[in-house]
Amino acid sequence: MSEPLLKVSNLKTYFISKYRTVKAVDGVDFEVQKGKVLGIVGESGSGKSMTSLSIMGLIPPPYGKIVEGEIRFEGVDLSKLSEKKMNDVRGNRISMIFQEPMSALNPVLKIGEQIDEVLIRHKRLSKSEARRKSIQLLQSVGFPRAEQIVNEYPHQLSGGMRQRAMIAMAMACEPSILIADEPTTALDVTIQAQVLDLMRDLKEHTGTAIVLITHDLGVVADMADDMIVMYGGQVVESGTADDIFNTPLHPYTNALMESIPVIDEERERLTAIPGTVPSAANFPQGCRFAERCAIAQASCHEKMPELRELQPGHLVRCDLA
């Protein structure tokens, strides 16, 4: 396999205050390959957003901090980059879109102004050049009347339109990686499919790699080349999407797959995983999933399992697998 585009090694992002330490991301490793889609799945609180914000250097101050690890991108470790240099990467080489397209857009600025400013910042375009390019970008994400949309405010657009405008903004500088943190969660089902299709098209055309964070395994199955499953701030399973869907190795991955609602002619079944995610402020010393695991043994509660490569490229953090 060729050199990965982005390589995250042993990333630890903690929120450290006087009273407690929240281990939001606790030793995460993964790679993003050029032009491929990496899916990140896991329940709420498993550290997906904090992982992506760590890459962007946008961990909320003052408590959040990357305490260890490396984020290697185009030959440099982003976690050690100065704010000034990181600003040249953000929105330019790596960009990000968020779950809530309503609150993620500035309510008092026109859509056009919000796209223009990325182009002016990174591509040094003049105002009128940027505007022309913004209109093109909006057309490329499927706005037929882009000339009007640039003069509209976010509240004048529907949820799906806003998310497409966000995508246009994120793709403005043709980044090599687009991080999408639950880009469709807030949207209607039909709109979800449209937005995902759009992202897939853009990827084909531009060769931008996508890190796609989602709760929805169906979306991963549909879109991802590679995937990681996160639990309690750690990667519990990683590999190609095909391998993981065909032979899930971790009990948690198995449980997740079973919790996909299966709709057949007669019944609709949804098995939620019993129990709750352990608090990131107070992880158990052993396997973090042991408490909810159907096959856990006494040893699981004592020793934290290592991430092992069971098959080539297919890693799992479970001693029983």
Partner 1 sequence: MAAYIIRRLLGMIPTLFVITVIVFLLMHAMPGNAFEALVFNPKIKNAAEVYKRLVAENGLNQSLPVQYIHWINNLIHGNLGISSSLNMPVSEAIGTYLPNTLILAITAEIIILVISLPIGLYQANKVNGKLDVSTSFVAIFLYSIPGFVFALVLIFLFSFLEKWLPSSGTVTPGIATSGSLGDRLTHLILPALSLALPSMAYYTRLTRSNTLSVIVADFVRTARAKGLRRPRVMFRHVLRNAIIPIVTQFGFDIGGLFGGAVLIEQIFTWPGMGELSFNATINRDYPLILGTTLLFAVMVLIGNLIADILLAISDPRVRYD
Ligand X SMILES: Nc1ncnc2c1ncn2[C@@H]1O[C@H](COP(=O)(O)OP(=O)(O)OP(=O)(O)O)[C@@H](O)[C@H]1O
Binding site for partner 1 (CB under 8 A): 56, 58, 60, 87-92, 95-96, 98, 100, 103-109, 117-118, 121-122, 153, 155, 166, 169
Q: Which is nearer to partner 1, 90 or 164 (CB)?
A: 90
Q: Does 66 bind ligand X (CB under 6 A)?
A: no
Cα 318 to chain centroid distance, Å, stands at 24
- Which amino acid is residue 231, in one-letter code? Y
Cβ burial of 254 (10 Å; 0-12, 13-18, 19+) is middle
Q: Which is nearer to partner 1, 55 or 293 (CB)?
A: 55
CB 88, CB 95: distance < 8 Å:
no
Q: Does 50 bind ligand X (CB under 6 A)?
A: yes
Q: Which is nearer to Mg ion, 49 or 192 (CB)?
A: 49
How does DSSP assign 109-132, residue by residue? S-HHHHHHHHHHHHH---HHHHHH
Among 31, 36, 38, 47, binds ligand X (CB under 6 A): 47
Could you give the CA distance from residue 75 to residue 6 in angstroms, rounded to a whole number? Answer: 9
Among 18, 60, 189, 294, binds ligand X (CB under 6 A): 60
Residues contacting 120, CB < 8 A, separation 6+: 126, 127, 130
Peptide bond before residue 312 is cis, with ω within 30 degrees of 0: no
Among 5, 6, 39, 48, binds ligand X (CB under 6 A): 48
Shortest distance, position 237 Cβ to partner 1, whole Å: 28
CB 273, CB 256: distance < 8 Å:
yes
Shortest distance, position 121 Cβ to partner 1, whole Å: 6
Shortest distance, position 19 Cβ to partner 1, whole Å: 16
Q: Which is nearer to ligand X, 39 or 64 (CB)?
A: 64
Shortest distance, position 239 Cβ to partner 1, whole Å: 29
Among 2, 18, 19, 44, binds ligand X (CB under 6 A): 44
Q: H-helix or E-strand containing 242? A: helix 241-246
Q: What angle do CA 98, 99, 104 make, to 5 degrees?
A: 55
- Which amino acid is residue 307, in one-letter code? L
Shortest distance, position 154 Cβ to partner 1, whole Å: 9
Q: Which is nearer to ligand X, 116 or 216 (CB)?
A: 216
Shortest distance, position 49 Cβ to Mg ion, whole Å: 3
Shortest distance, position 169 Cβ to partner 1, whole Å: 7
Q: Does 232 bind ligand X (CB under 6 A)?
A: no
Q: Which is nearer to partner 1, 101 or 233 (CB)?
A: 101
Residues contacting 195, CB < 8 A, separation 6+: 160, 163, 164, 167, 183, 184, 187
Cα 180 to chain centroid distance, Å, stands at 5
Q: Does 38 bind ligand X (CB under 6 A)?
A: no
Q: Does 104 bind ligand X (CB under 6 A)?
A: no
> Which residues make up the interface to Mg ion (CB under 5 A)?
49
Could you give the CA distance from residue 289 to residue 275 in angstroms, rounded to a whole number? Answer: 10
Shortest distance, position 145 Cβ to partner 1, whole Å: 19
Residue ranges that bind ligand X, judged by CB under 6 A: 15, 22, 24, 42, 44-50, 60, 63-64, 280
